Structure 1
Amino acid sequence: MFERFTKAARATVRGATEHAERGGAGVVTPEHLLLALLDREGTRAAVVLGRLCPPERRPSLVSALADARRRAGLSRADAEALAGLGIDVGAIVERVEETHGAGALAGTRRTSGRRTFSREAKTVLEKSLRVALARKDREIGDEHLLLALTTTGGVVAETLADHGVTFSSVDTALARAT
């Protein structure tokens, strides 16, 4: 599959690995893929992200990802479902951080060596192939990674949608860009 990746898509995957390393994460996650896409310039995904989530709105997006990481990756929908059961996720996070330190639930752990990809990140990569095939594209570009991130569900898709970046909006922006 990786032989079908464009230079931009390969650079995004390398960038995701670098984000995971800098953050001390044991694995590369969809969040790292998104952060790497946000770093890109001049690619199809970068142009679309620039239109849908301009640079002045990106700190809000990155902050929302950090908040979710602090909640052990629970999406807002997950937290709301737990609240419906009488479980206050915010209170739990505070108590855990009081005992174990800030970011204790973030799942970061210092490791050395090569980073592997989480099951969810592998799913994004697989979906990017399916998206490219459905669009009848011969290569997998960073735009396919972005489209896959919007459809995978979870924190990244939720955060993107909250910032106006959905499959539909990305697809429309890509059509206009060509």
Structure 2
Amino acid sequence: MFERFTQAARAVVKGAVERAERDGADVVTKEHLLLALLDRDDTRAAAALRTLCPPDRRPSLVAALADARRRAGLSRADTKALADLGIDVGAIVARVEETHGTGALAGDRKGSGWWPGRRTFSREAKTVLEKSLRVAVSRKDREIGDEHILLALTLTGGVVAEALADHGVTYAAVDSAVSGPKVP
């Protein structure tokens, strides 16, 4: 599959790995893929993101991801479902952070025994990469570009898709933004 990735898509994957390394994360996640896409500025996905989520709104997007990470990656739908069962996620997060420190539920296990070197991809991140292939095939594109990764992120559900949608970055909006003339 990776032989079909364009240079831009490969740069996103490499950027996601670098992000995970900087964060001290054990695995590369969907969030790392999105943050790597946000770092780009010369590709089709970057142009779509500039249009749909201008740079002045990006801190809000990054903050939404960080907030979800604090809630152990629970989406608003997950939080609401738990609230319907009488479970107050906010209270649980506050209590855990009171006892174990801020970000205790974030899953950041720096120094937890992982060895430096190659990072693996989470199941969800692998799903995004696989879905990017399906998106490219459905669009009858010969290669998998970074725009296909962005489109796949909007389709996979969860916190990243929710944060993107809250900022106007939906599958339909991205599809429309990247369907124009191809940039070399």
Q: Structure 1 length normalisation: TM-score?
A: 0.98
Residue segments in structure 1 that go unaligned for 5+ positions in a row: none
RMSD after superposition:
0.8
Matches within 5 A, 1:95-110: 95-110=95-110
1:149 to 2:156 alignment: no
Aligned to 2:16: 16
Counterpart of 1:167 (choices 161, 164, 171) is 171
Aligned to 1:76: 76
Structure 1 position 176, deviation (Å): 3.0
Q: Aligned partner of 1:72: which letter?
A: A
Query: For each residue in 1:149-168, what CA deviation from the matched residue of structure 2 results, as whole angstroms up to 9, or x when unmatched?
Result: 00000000010000000000
Query: For each residue in 1:33-74, what CA deviation from the matched residue of structure 2 results, as whole angstroms up to 9, or x when unmatched?
Result: 000000001100000000000000000000000000010000
Matches within 5 A, 1:20-59: 20-59=20-59
Aligned to 1:158: 162
1:118 to 2:113 alignment: no
Distance in 2, Cα, partners of 1:176 & 1:59 = 27
Q: What SS class does the counterpart of residue 176 from structure 1 fall into?
A: coil
Q: What SS class does the counterpart of residue 60 from structure 1 fall into?
A: helix
Aligned to 1:128: 132
What is the identity percentage for the equivalent residue pairs of Structure 1 and Structure 2?
78
Structure 1 position 177, deviation (Å): 4.5
Distance in 2, Cα, partners of 1:176 & 1:83 = 43
Structure 1 position 21, deviation (Å): 1.1
Residue segments in structure 2 that go unaligned for 5+ positions in a row: none
Q: How many residues of Structure 1 are paired with residues of Structure 2 in the alignment?
A: 178
1:92 to 2:92 alignment: yes
Q: Which 4+ stretches in 1 moved above 4 angstroms?
A: none
Query: For each residue in 1:88-120, what CA deviation from the matched residue of structure 2 results, as whole angstroms up to 9, or x when unmatched?
Result: 101101111111111111011123221100000
Q: 1:99 to 1:54 in 2, by over 3 A?
A: same
